[in-house]
Amino acid sequence: MTNQPHRSLLTDLPGPRSLELAARRSASVTAAVGSSVPVYAADARGALVEDVDGNVLIDLGAGIAVTTLGAAHPDVVAAVTEQAARFTHTCFMVTPYEGYVEVAERLADLVPGDHEKRTVLLSTGAEAVENAVKIARRATGRQGVLVLDHGYSGRTNLTMAMTAKAMPYKTGFGPFSPEVYRVPTSYPLRDPEGMTGEQAAARLVEAAERQVGADQVAALVAEPIQGEGGFVVPAPGFWAALREWTAEHGIVLVADEVQTGFARTGAMFAVEHEGVVPDLVTMAKGIAGGMPLAAVTGRADLMDAVHPGGLGGTFGGNPVACAAALASFEVFARDDMPARARAVETRVRARLEAVAARVPAVAQVRGRGAMLALELVRPGTLDPDKAAAAQVAATCLANGVITLTAGSWGNIIRLLPPLVITDDQLDEALDVLVSALDQLS
Ligand SMILES: *Cc1c(COP(=O)(O)O)cnc(C)c1O
């Protein structure tokens, strides 16, 4: 990779070699798998991605909140290399190894709450969510699972049932797993004016008690800030009220921190901002510097209520992924990555708030830390404008900046920069984004 630390465009995007690969791809890879950025990566360092045509892009998506420490953090690369040379796999269910135990020990310290904790390691976020539901059902002897409007849980059968958005995640893939109930969440921009977090929680509780009955509910699974749903930050007090209600009725409160976890929001976990201790926490994405690893960590009494052998998986807690996670945990602490996320927020927010003040299509700037989004609407209304979001993302890409869209209506631009992004790179990317947004008015 070139050593220059900036964006550099040598061809139109996608360039000729990316177009060649796209042609090979369409003859070999199913069309069902999409790519939002049709530029093929050759190399990636920190917040820069170099494509096969030698273009260098600034990455504000981090591979969907995964490469929080950059695309090839030297400490992660060293740990992976060292572990891969020793062994790549034994299967923890056959011949266990120290790395898995050490990750579990570290997660017990990192995850909120002073209570005794246990962990199971897996490979994907959807698997973590599935396992949290298995644990909650086994521990409570109940079946019902409450999920939120606009929520995202994954693409397996159970997690499709738990996911709110039909297209592209669910359409035509049913029947879905039963005993999953969707309840209203707190969405301050779209809720009745002035609705508090407590009122939004009361609306949820009313729907749950009417449709399911609290004593039938094993778990409430919720993202502290909805990721695919569009970085929806609930009104203050929402989580505290949910904590109180779930505790009162013996319902397992699962914080799905798959997207929000690991310093992303300016704290190691986003529930910390709510002052709430969940019973179980699901994690994946940013946990291991880009290596596939997922976890459920939570109350020992719940985790150990499952019979021996009831949880696991061939690849779960792969030793190379565990080594990457342990190296990442060191970097998160040593370089105070939560503080870096807060610094990124200050820098990005200032620019985005200024745009929101002059571009009527920007209805709201929201999020926490380095997880910030813009919701785009038709000016003067709250009608979602998906085309505007697509246009902004396309303009950014044409100018060498990777952004992602999100939201139930696809009208949200979300920013998830790697936390190792330099201030110069961030400013340069924001110049491009701001100019793309200005073109909306
Ligand atoms: C991405 C995501 C998942 C699913 O993770 P995969 O690794 O894609 O299976 C689950 N929950 C949340 C909140 C996510 O953002």
Residues 348-387 have pLDDT tens digits of 999 999 999 999 999 999 999 999 999 999 999 999 999 9
Check if the beta carbon of residue 75 is closer than 8 Å to that of residue 331.
Answer: yes
Q: Which atom of ligand 1 is nearest to the CA of 285?
A: 7
- Residues 436, 400: Cα–Cα separation, whole Å: 12
- Give me the chain's average pLDDT, please: 97
Sign of CA dihedral 8, 13, 15, 20: positive
Residues within 6 Å of ligand 1 by CB? 124-126, 129, 152-154, 223, 227-228, 256, 258-259, 284
Q: Please tell me the total number of residues recorded for the chain in this structure.
A: 441
Please give the Cα distance from 124 to 288 (Å, whole number): 12
Q: How confident is the model at residue 6 (pLDDT cuts 50, 70, 90)?
A: confident
* Shortest-distance atom of ligand 1 to CA 284: 7
Atom of ligand 1 nearest to the CA of 257: 13
pTM above 0.95, yes or no: yes
Dump pLDDT digits (tens) for 90-134.
999 999 999 999 999 999 999 999 999 999 999 999 999 999 999
Angle between helices 423-438 and 337-358 (to 10 degrees): 20
129-164 pLDDT per residue, tens = 999 999 999 999 999 999 999 999 999 999 999 999
Q: How far is the CA of 271 from the centre of ligand 1 (A)?
A: 17
Which residue CA neighbors atom 10 of ligand 1 most closely? 153
Our mutation pick for probing the ligand 1 site, out of 130, 156, 258, 283, counting the most ligand atoms within 8 A of Cβ, is 258
CA of 153 to the centre of ligand 1 (A): 6
Q: Which residue has the CA at smallest separation from atom 5 of ligand 1?
A: 125
Torsion sign across C-alpha atoms 138, 144, 146, 147:
positive
Predicted local confidence at residue 4, as pLDDT: 65
